[in-house]
Structure 1
């Protein structure tokens, strides 16, 4: 049975800390809905109603365009071990790029990553748990090194060029805010 909470409780925070992967969902008023898998030690609980995650350079930048339009975001965690659970965080997010004054405040909570593109700072309005009985069991092997290796190979200038070529607009043509 689903249960709703106004804030993260200790049991939720402990569950989140054990997860190697999570999913982020966002949508504009119209167009495509985006769901992205995330990993690489890129999420931090900063308070009972605040979560931040570091977004690394990727093939698209849909979440940024959606957040700039309306801020809506859902973050979902699934248990893949013996104890089934799904945990969702619903709220409004803010996008923080390296040029923003809040970048350093958020960066102190994360390891440095080549290709760091932006942070999303989520104000959690509701926490919901559900059973997860239909989620299959999996065993974690390791985080993939491919994204970091790609960013290191291309260097800061190459990553910026990639942002220019691939991350300026969403699939729906909306500005992602990556450049002023």
Structure 2
């Protein structure tokens, strides 16, 4: 059944690398809880207590706003093939915007994705596995390309305008700071 760890053991690093999807959970003390699925080979394990993931432009920007106010983050993985398991990484996250000094080095760890918006740098302080025996089997077919095609069609200027128009605050009205942190001029 479940086990707790203070750092990511090598066998779980391999499990993480094999996953095609993961889920991010964040909230402030007075916001709705956001649980967001992620994919696109956008997560890297840097060491046994640190992961980073590249966030691309989407319809909302809840995670960035939440982390800036309350940096706790949970990352969850589920085994959809092979032996059953759920893995949760608990930690403290920092949002890295494109104008931040850390951006260049961290961004170089990823294959470039159109619409890249932020990087989340997560210090892990606890891991927990649980059985996952109720999680069904699913077959991975391929990545969806719609988001990449949408971002490519918009282009860099169109993406930045989208951030201004659609990504400045959460559904609860909390600021994401994407405009100010990237020195964008509002239209």
CA distance in 1 between counterparts of 2:31 and 2:176 reads 14
Gaps of 5+ in 1: none
Gaps of 5+ in 2: 181-187
1:12 aligns with 2:12: yes
State the distance in 1 between where 2:177 and 2:93 align. 14
Listed one character per residue, the Cα deviations across residues 72-116 of structure 1 (whole Å, up to 9, x for unaligned) are 100000000131000000000000010111001101110011100
Which position in structure 1 is the counterpart of 2:167? Answer: 167
Deviations 1:17-75 (A, max 9, x none): 11000000000111210000000010000010000000000000000010000101000
Structure 1 moving runs of 4+ over 2 Å: none
In structure 1, how many angstroms separate the alpha carbons of the residues matched to 2:179 and 2:160?
A: 10
**Distance in 1 (alpha carbons) for counterparts of 2:129 and 2:105:** 30
Match of 1:85 in 2: 85
| Residues 19-98 of structure 1 mapped to structure 2, 5 A cutoff | 19-98=19-98
- How far apart are 1:179 and its partner, in Å? 1.7
CA distance in 1, matches of 2:43, 2:82: 23
Q: 1:127-166 to 2 correspondence within 5 Å?
A: 127-166=127-166
Separation in 2, partners of 1:46, 1:163: 28
Cα distance in 2 for partners of 1:132, 1:99 equals 40
Aligned partner of residue 8 in structure 2, secondary structure: coil
SS in structure 2 of the partner of residue 12 of structure 1: helix
Correspondence for 1:112 = 112
Task: Give 3-state SS (helix, strand or coil) of 2:178's partner.
Answer: coil
